[in-house]
Amino acid sequence: MKVHEYQAKALLAQFGIPVPRGKVAYTPAEARGIAAELGCKVVIKAQVYAGGRGKAGGIKLANTPEEAEKAARDLIGTRLVTHQTGPEGVPVSKVLVEEASDVERELYLSILIDSTTKLPLMMASEAGGVEIEQVAETTPEKIFKAYIYPGIGFEPFQGRKLAYGMNLSVNQVREAPKLMEGLYELLMTKDCSLAEINPLAVTVDGRLLALDAKVNFDDNALFRRKDIQELRDVEQEDPLEVQAREWGISNYVRMDGNIGCMVNGAGLAMAVNDLIQYCGGSAANFLDIGTLNTTDRVVNSFKMFKADSRVKAVLINIFGGMARVDVIAKGIVEAYQQMDIDFPVVVRLAGTNVDEGNRILAESGIDLIEAKDFYDGAYKAVEAAKGATK
Amino acid sequence: MSILIDEKTALLVQGITGGEGSFHAQRCMEYGTKVVAGVTPGKGGTQHLGVPVFDSVERAIADAGANASLMFVPPAFAADGILEAIDAGMPLIVCITEGIPVTDMVKVHSYLKERPTRLIGPNCPGVISPGKCKAGIMVGEIHRPGSVGVVSRSGTLTYDVVAQLTSLGIGQSTSVGIGGDPLPGSTFVDILRLFEEDEDTKAVVLIGEIGGTLEQEAAEFIRSEMTKPVVAFIAGSTAPPGRRMGHAGAIITGTAGKASEKIKALSAAGAIIAANPAEVGLTTKGVLPKP
């Protein structure tokens, strides 16, 4: 799960990491008020779940409260298109108004769980303000790493090592380890999957300051992080994906094509989308229906396909294991009883209780396109989408 | 032969009295697995599905002789269950549970290091040595005993691949689901090594997916140490970056996580790449020695 920059910074501050003074504004008038309160030059930053805001015009400088109001007016209510969003962009409904800082250098600091060592890994670099992947590619010697052992915790020597790596001054080397320990504590106590400060600024007067922050959370741990769950901003998410979650389909990702897919299992669902492309088509979504013993999610998947105007054909590919094929078949029949299905539906069933599932579909008299195997299903769905009259 | 589990496996089911644990313990028994005990704290001394239930893994090992554990403990308590089994000295743990927080798995891995337990999963379908033993939730009937090892990050995609193999008359020595989480207990390399050492495994099918670098590590092992042919398929060529595709570990962050990078690494290491997921069976048939 993602959160906004202003929420990420509030969390950093909670763990003792210095952030610029500022507040979030929902209206231009509020932005003006906050700028007046701060009494200095301010930065107006669009709050969206996407990077690349600066280049896309989502960050503006304002010398006076009036300028702040104007900048906020230019942003709030628009949609911001960055290299990380689609061409439709993301809505801007609030801006962060914070004091502008005089920056001497821009550094990089982050922490995540490293999958190779299975340990929290803190990375620091003096090459901040750009994407770390780029630094890793061009100047890997500028990235310094510290692995943190959970039983020991973050040690001051690790902080010094990273601080020297970033070429900090003597005073800053004293300050930095505390900041870094705060970042480690944030990761572990809030179950973050990533906490990144980029840039971490060295101000002209020598202070360290988190100018921008990105914090992502482990979806698996949200059950025990109610405070984090409350930060979710559904407005920033794809409306179809929000709808899917409301209907109990948690593993739904919108894709660019026109074939609606319903599959059980994440790997199989990815492979189905790949196979559709191999056959010359394109999936409208990734949908892992998971394991179920009721027909609700099958019916709701059909509701999703109805709600998605791009869908020209549907491919259902189920290999029953924990999920029972007969239950899926009953769900398909229910969906046809409840709604007007005006697109061709290709069905491939295999695995647990497949004979019973096929019998249910055959007896229902529903006009489905039967597929004999994995490839046949994808091929027929692509053909059906091409020939669809809808 | 086979790897990890066989006729001598005496299985403990952690969480045997829960809905899923009970259902799948029964299915494992029907397949022929020797299920010798269950553990549910607080229910020690009772019987379930005809086997004794113990309060702790330690007691299940001491009194019932369990030498492998199959776990169905809910995500909030699963890491604790794994730690208990490691502490009791359980040689093999197969954890089915999906949704364990990553920070919990960091603790598990730090405890697991230097200890002799092998952990498979979490978030996996388990392990099956066809005709001998099933410690998992996969459909037993689609498997046949044979000489192809299967190792995968996926569940149902593996069923499809196994069904392809079986329909072509190709049996499996063992099929191992290492799971779809970012910090799996065992990696592709761990399982490839076991298949390489197993005399009766003649070839291996590897099913990877986007996210992480497990496939690249596998490629390095294949290049440097593997003598047996490896057929590979990587799911998620069409997956957008930065999105979690169902599995917690299936998310492209950075270049290495892309399917194309993994395919490139495996191909360069000598693995045979299946052109699409429906052709893994046929591709495997092509690498096996003609009978």
Residues B150 and B274 in one domain: yes
Of residues A118, A224, A265, nearest to B106 (C-beta) = A118
Same structural domain, B264 and B168: yes
Catalytic residue among A6, A30, A108, A252: A108
- C-alpha B75/C-alpha B98 separation (Å) is 7
Question: What are phi and psi for residue A31, nearest 5 degrees?
Answer: -60, -40
Q: What is the CATH number of the domain that holds A201?
A: 3.30.470.20
Which tens digits make up the pLDDT trace of A27-72?
Answer: 999 999 999 999 999 999 999 999 889 999 999 999 999 999 999 9
B73 and B145 assigned to the same domain: no
One domain for residues A256 and A211: no
Tell me: do B204 and B85 sit in the same domain: no
Judge if A82 and A27 occupy the same domain: yes
Cβ distance A270 to B235 less than 8 Å, yes or no, reads yes
**Do A382 and A247 sit in the same domain of this protein?**
yes
Residues A287 and A340 in one domain: yes
Same domain? For B28 and B152 the reply is no
User: Other CB atoms closer than 10 Å to residue A359's CB: what's the count?
Assistant: 13
- Mean pLDDT over residues A256-271, rounded? 96
CA distance B121 to B73: 13
**Together in a domain, A43 and A128:** no
**Which residue of chain A comes nearest to B241, CA vs CA?**
A84
- Mark which of A68, A100, A132 sits at the end of a domain: A100
Residues of A in contact with B137 (CB under 8 A): 321-322
Q: Are residues A277 and A312 in the same domain?
A: yes
| Cβ pairs A/B, distance under 8 A | 171
User: Whose CA is closest to A200, among A158, A167, A154, A228?
Assistant: A167
What residues of chain B lie within 8 A of the CB of A149, using their CB? Answer: 110
Kindly report, residue by residue over A107-165, the tens digit of the pLDDT. 999 999 999 999 999 999 999 988 888 888 899 999 999 999 988 999 999 999 999 99
pLDDT category at A291 given cuts 50, 70, 90 is confident
Q: How confident is the model at residue B291 (pLDDT cuts 50, 70, 90)?
A: low
DSSP code of residue A2: B
For residue A219, the enclosing domain spans 1-20+102-237
Same domain, A313 and A347: yes
A-chain residues near B277 (CB < 8 A): 271, 274-275, 374
- Mean residue pLDDT across chain B: 96
CB contact at 8 A, A120 and A187: yes
Among candidate residues A214, A237, A260, the one where a domain is terminated: A237
| A126/A209 same-domain check | yes
Q: Which of A212, A237, A262 is the last residue of a domain?
A: A237
- Within-domain flag for B126: no
Q: How far is CA B133 from the centre of its chain?
A: 13
- The residue ranges of DSSP E strands in chain A, in sequence order, are 22-25, 42-46, 59-62, 79-80, 90-91, 95-99, 103-114, 119-125, 143-147, 192-203, 208-210, 213-217, 251-254, 259-263, 285-288, 313-320, 345-351, 369-370
Q: Is residue A390 scored above 60 in pLDDT? A: no
Q: B230-235 and B272-273 as β-strands: parallel, antiparallel, unpaired? A: parallel
| A30 and A75 in a common domain | yes
| Band of pLDDT at residue A352, cut at 50, 70 and 90 | confident
**How large a percentage of chain B has pLDDT more than 90?**
92
Separation between Cα atoms, residue B128 and residue B150, nearest integer Å: 10
* Contact predicate A267/B247, CB 8 Å: yes
Which of B71, B90, B120 is a domain's end point?
Answer: B120
Residue of B95, B97, B103 to mutate, testing the A interface (most A Cβ within 10 Å of its Cβ): B103
| Domain-terminating residue out of B76, B93, B120 | B120
| Among candidates A187, A220, A352 on the partner chain, residue whose Cβ is nearest the Cβ of B248 | A220
**A246-276 residues labelled b (16+ CB within 10 A) or e (exposed):** ebebebbbbbebbbbbbbbbbbbbbbbbbbb
The catalytically annotated residue of A30, A196, A336, A379 is A196
- Name the percent of chain A in helix, strand, coil, to the closest 5: 40, 25, 35
Question: Long-range pairs for B254-262 at CB < 8 Å and ≥24 separation?
Answer: B254/A133, B255/A133, B256/B212, B256/B213, B256/B216, B257/B210, B257/B211, B257/B212, B257/B213, B258/B210, B259/A274, B259/B209, B259/B210, B259/B234, B259/B235, B261/B216, B262/B208, B262/B210, B262/B215, B262/B216, B262/B219, B262/B234
- pTM > 0.90: yes
User: Which amino acid is located at A251 in the chain?
Assistant: N
CA angle B33, B39, B40 (to 5 degrees): 135
Per-residue pLDDT, averaged over A160-174, amounts to 95
The residue written with tokens 């086997």 in the block is: B51
Q: How many domains does chain B have?
A: 2
A293: pLDDT strictly greater than 70: no
| Sign of the C-alpha dihedral computed for residues A349, B244, B176 and B37 taken in this order | negative
* Nearest residue to B220 (alpha-carbon basis) of B254, B188, B185, B176: B188
Q: Which of A102, A158, A159, A112 is nearest to A133 (CA)?
A: A112
Which residues does chain B have within 8 Å of residue A274's beta carbon, measured at their own beta carbons?
Answer: 235-238, 259, 276-277
Quick check: is B130 in a domain? Answer: no
Closest Cα partner for A11 from A237, A222, A210, A223?
A210
**Which chain A residue lies closest to B275 (C-alpha atoms)?**
A278
Categorize the per-residue pLDDT at A321 as very low, low, confident or very high, splitting at 50, 70 and 90. confident
pLDDT tens string B227-280:
999 999 999 999 998 889 989 898 888 788 999 999 999 999 999 999 999 999
Asked if A269 and A156 sit in the same domain, the reply is no
- Looking at the 3D structure of chain A, how many domains does it have? 3
Domain membership of residue B242 (yes or no) is yes
- B229 with B258, same domain: the answer is yes
Same domain for B231 and B112, yes or no, is: no
A223 contacts B75? CB cut-off 8 A: yes
The confidence score (pLDDT) of residue A388 equals 64
CATH code at B165? Answer: 3.40.50.261
Residue holding tokens 């210095």? A18
- Say whether both B99 and B199 belong to one domain: no
pLDDT value at B197 more than 60: yes
Q: Assess whether A128 and A209 both reside in one domain.
A: yes
Q: What is the CATH number of the domain that holds A355?
A: 3.40.50.261
At A98, phi and psi to the nearest 5?
A: -140, 160
Residue B258 domain flag: yes
Say if the Cβ atoms of B106 and A115 lie within 8 Å. no
Do A230 and A321 reside in the same domain of the chain? no
For the residues B109-124, what does the mean pLDDT come to?
A: 96
CATH, residue A63 = 3.30.1490.20
Write down the mean pLDDT value for chain A: 94
How does pLDDT run across B33-88, given as a tens digit for each residue? 999 999 999 999 999 999 999 999 999 999 999 999 999 999 999 999 999 999 99
Which residue among B120, B147, B172 closes a domain?
B120
Same domain, B260 and B182: yes
Strands B145-152 and B172-177: parallel
Which of A1, A90, A191, A220 to mutate against chain B (most B CBs within 10 Å)? Answer: A220
The yes-or-no answer on residue A196 being catalytic is: yes
Tell whether B77 and B153 lie within a shared domain.
no
Q: Is B210 on the interface with A (CB under 8 A)?
A: yes
Which of B76, B164, B277 lies closest to A275 in CB terms? Answer: B277
**CATH code of the domain covering residue B74:** 3.40.50.720
| A128, A162 contact by CB (below 8 A) | no
Within this chain, do residues B70 and B204 fall inside the same structural domain, yes or no?
no
Whether residue B163 and residue A319 make contact (CB cut-off 8 A), yes or no, is yes
Sign of CA dihedral B185, B188, B193, B198: positive
Q: Are residues B144 and B250 in the same domain?
A: yes
Task: Inform me whether the pLDDT recorded for A389 exceeds 70.
Answer: no
The more confident residue out of A320 and B291 is A320
Residue B131 within any structural domain of the chain? no
Range of the structural domain that residue B68 is part of: 10-120
